[in-house]
Every structure is written in C-alpha cells, then in structure tokens.
Amino acid sequence: MKIHSTLTGGKEEFVPLTPGEVRMYVCGVTPYDYSHIGHARSAVVFDVVRRYLLFKRFQVTMVRNYTDVEDKIIRRANQEGVPAHEISERYIAAEVEDMASLGVMAPDVAPKATEHIPGMVALIQRLVAKDVAYVVDGDVYFEIRRFPPYGRLSGKNLDELLAGARVEVDERKRDPRDFALWKAAKPGEPSWPSPWGPGRPGWHIECSVMSIRYLGETLDIHGGGTDLIFPHHECEIAQAEADTGKTFSRYWLHNGMVNLGAEKMSKSLGNVLAIREIVKRHDPDALRLWMLGTHYRNTLEWSEERVKESARALQRLRNVIRLARDRGNDAGVQVIEPHQASAAASSVAEILAMIKDEGVRREIDGLVSQFTATMDDDFNTPRALAALFDLGAVANRQRDTADQASTEGSQASGTAAVEDLVRAGNVLWLLAGVLGLSGRGTEPNRQIKAVQDLVAAREAARRRRDWQLADQLRTRLLHEYNVIIEDTAAGPRVTPRDQ
C-alpha cells in the first residue's frame, strides 16, 4: 500500500509506526458559521481513508479537532452580543449534523481547543525554555530561524516565506516570519491565565498539543486541505519537533480544494455552498460519489449537473441491490440481510465455490483485486469506482442469465458480485441510502450519528476484549435503531433489519 506524502512529494510505502495500528489526525473546522461543501470534501476524503484502513484490518484511531477560539468566532460573538463559546457550540452542533448527513463517521476523539489550554501553555513554556520561542509584552512568538527545517513541508525557503506569508506586521518580532504561540488579552476577547499574563493561544499551537495528547509524539497520518500546508501544518511541525526532537508525522496527506467557478470556495470570499442546503436538493450519497470521482489530491470543480449525473450513476448500483432483494429468500437477499442467511451460503468464499463458470469467477476476483489495488495506490477512488460499477454490471448479467436458465452457478455468480459490490461500496460508503442507513433532515442525521457512535464504541470495546459491553451495544443497535451489526474479516457490517 502506497500513499502520497506532501513532505516527500511522492508516493511512499505505508508503514505505520506500530504494526497493525494507525494514528490519524485531521484538522477540523473553525465553528463560526455553517460548514460548506469544501469542508465536506475534506471530511469525505479522510472518511474514506479511514474506512479503507479499517477494511485493510488496521486498528485506526482518528482525531479531528474544533478550533473553538479564533478571531472570526470572536468577531461574530461581538456582532451578536453573545459569549464566544455560544457561537462555537452552535456551529459545532451544526457541523456534527452536517457530517452525519454525508455519512462521515464521527472521529474517535473530537477535542476542542478551549479544553486544552493548560497543555498549550505547558508546551509554550518548554519552547521558551529551549530558546526557540521568546516573549514580548505578554505575547509569545516562535523564532523560525531556531528551527532550520522550517519550510520543508511547503517546499519554501526562509526568504521565500516573506512573499505571501499570512503573518501580521509587528515590529516587536525578531523576524516578521515568526508566528504567534500566545496572544496577550485584548478587550472584548476571551482569555486564560498564563505565565506571560492573560491571553489566548495562537492558531497553530492547538493541533500540536491535541494530536500529541491523544495519539503520541509521532503520528502515522496527518491530514487536511492543501490550504493548510502553509503556514498551519508547517508551524505544527516546528512546534512539535522543536519540543520532542521526534518526527511529528510520518505521512502528510492533503486534499485539493473545491472551486466555484474560477475561485476556491471559502467563507472569507463569500462564495460558499452550505452542506445543509446542498443535501436538501441533492442525495448525500450522490454527493459522495461526485467527490470520489476526482482523485482526492486534485482540485474539484463544483457542478450541479455533475452531481445530478452522479445521482443517475448511483441509481444503477442501487438497482442491483434492490433487484437482489426482490428475488425473495435466495442468496441475493442474504447478502443484504445477513440475519436471514442461516439457510444459505453468505460468505464470498462459499458463494464463489458454487460458481461453475471459471471465467466469471476470475472476472469477479479480478474486479475485487482491481478495487483493492487502486485503493492501495494512494486511495485512487476514480479507478476504484470503475471496478465497483463493473461488479454491478456482472451482477446484473448473471442475474439475467440465472433468470433465463435457472442455473445454480449463474445465481451464485450474481450473488458473489452483489456481495463484493456491497463490501466495496461500504468502504466508500456509497450505498447507505439503499441499505437504509442515510436520510435527510435533522432526525435521520442524528440517528445516523448515533448508530455510527455506537458502532465505533463497540469496536473500541472489542479491541479491549470487553465482550460484555460489546454485546450490550449490539443489543442497543438492534432494539433502539433496528440495526443489525455483523463482524466480518473486513470489519463491522451494518444493515437495517426487516427492509
């Protein structure tokens, strides 16, 4: 398995620090407004990365933060005449609903910056003691010349960083490129105590502190949008590595931006499409398909028509599943309803063994191999989707053959193709709608989030070998949400009961 790392500029073999385990940190939103389709793309990209790693049987711990103290939040709070935390909590709650509407799994940990101020103060103290940071009138700055590797992630040298750098002009700095670790309190702003006086953290320090707190001094994967490479991720590396002396992240993954016309979509430009508005007029699964049709590192152009095309293409896959269900209590139904599978072969290996046509068996195996090979190649979802749709075509062809000839082998071939279609589709989370696991509106979204959280909690319990809790969570999923969870070699499979 190879992934493209921004730090090296090329594809690297993926070898996590601890065999079988992946520690993954993705930068989250600044909650001062509703999340937009650009946020959605980053969330979906890393959701698929996470799901595929789980599919590959890695134990994944994912952290995605909230920057809940920042200039934009403070400005909005002052405009509305409310505390800053009221603004951030409002839009954090909205973001949770928006991501659930797109089928994005909740992170294992979703830390907020304001909950980790003491850890940030402690890290800044260590950097000052190591003489890589300095204090000026209650502010604390990181001195980038004290960290020679600064600029390696973005490929910039120190002189180039003067051009286009997002730094505030401040004559008190030793170098205009030095960045703030701590900002002295100003009237009308929230503040916290520190050895340098009351104030609040700079933008970059929170991610270094929170990622190390929950994942350790060296991460396996750090992700985010390309707009975060400089200065945010560059500064994270400097802070963390100047403190620990260790590699901060082994791999850096960055998704491309979403453009609206010729411009990057951003709140500051005022050209955003809010997720909650988009899902009112487009199927969330179709939105995911549209996003995954472009490689995650490439820029994505917003197009209403392209999303509609994705919806039509998605319908072809859904029809494969629905037709399998319509056949009644044959193996095709058990593929979707595993709790009914006691009287029939339901595993891929058993079904494949029933196929008499060696050519069809090789075709199905080849498409499954194509799916995994392309995902192993830097999560190449466009090519993986081609294998997915080809599996759907095989399932339809073999179903038609079985209908005409009533042959056991053709029926098994169609069933095997559907089984693999569902397994691969779940990696990309494209079939949630037809499986009854997605919906629109607040209540369905909350239900999806609740199911996702319970599934994640159950997986954590199983990893700890807390079988009693795992069984209790399985029972809750069944009785409270009418959902069946089945443990497979590829990870938990979630299906609705009595569809």
> How long a stretch of residues is the chain?
499
The SS3 call for residue 139 is strand
Residue that is written with structure tokens 């494949």 in the block: 352
pTM over 0.85: no
pLDDT at 471: 85
Mean per-residue pLDDT over the chain, rounded: 85
pLDDT at 199: 97
Q: 146-152 — which CB contacts under 8 Å span 24+ positions?
A: 146/242, 147/238, 147/241, 147/242, 149/237, 149/238, 149/241, 150/234, 150/237, 150/238, 151/234, 152/7, 152/237
- Say which range, 160-169, 224-233, 328-337, 396-405, has the weakest mean pLDDT: 328-337
329: pLDDT strictly greater than 80: no
492: pLDDT strictly greater than 60: yes
pLDDT at 446: 55
Write out the two tokens for 364: 């199905």
52: pLDDT strictly greater than 70: yes
Strand extents, DSSP E, 209-307: 219-225, 249-255, 258-260, 263-264, 300-301
Which CATH topology does 289-428 take?
Isoleucyl-tRNA Synthetase; Domain 1 (1.10.730)
At a CB cut-off of 8 Å and minimum separation 6, what does 355 contact? 361, 364, 409, 412, 413, 416
Select the more confidently predicted residue: 390 or 348: 390
Task: Give residue-wise pLDDT tens across range 252-271.
Answer: 999 999 998 766 656 565 66
Task: Give residue-wise pLDDT tens across range 442-458.
Answer: 344 456 667 777 888 88
Query: What is the DSSP track for 57-71?
Result: T-EEEEEE-B--SSH
Task: Give residue-wise pLDDT tens across range 229-255.
Answer: 999 999 999 999 999 999 999 999 999
Task: Give residue-wise pLDDT tens across range 282-324.
Answer: 999 999 999 999 999 999 999 999 999 999 999 999 888 888 7
pLDDT at 111: 95
Domain ranges of the chain: 2-281, 289-428, 442-496
Residue that is written with structure tokens 């909005």 in the block: 76
Q: Mean per-residue pLDDT for 8-32?
A: 97
Using 50, 70 and 90 to split pLDDT, how confident is the model at 403? Answer: low
433: pLDDT strictly greater than 70: no
At a CB cut-off of 8 Å and minimum separation 6, what does 94 contact? 31, 34, 35, 276
CATH architecture of 2-281: 3-Layer(aba) Sandwich (3.40)
> DSSP letter at 137?
T
409: pLDDT strictly greater than 90: no
- Say which range, 25-39, 413-427, 430-444, 482-496, has the weakest mean pLDDT: 430-444
pLDDT at 484: 83
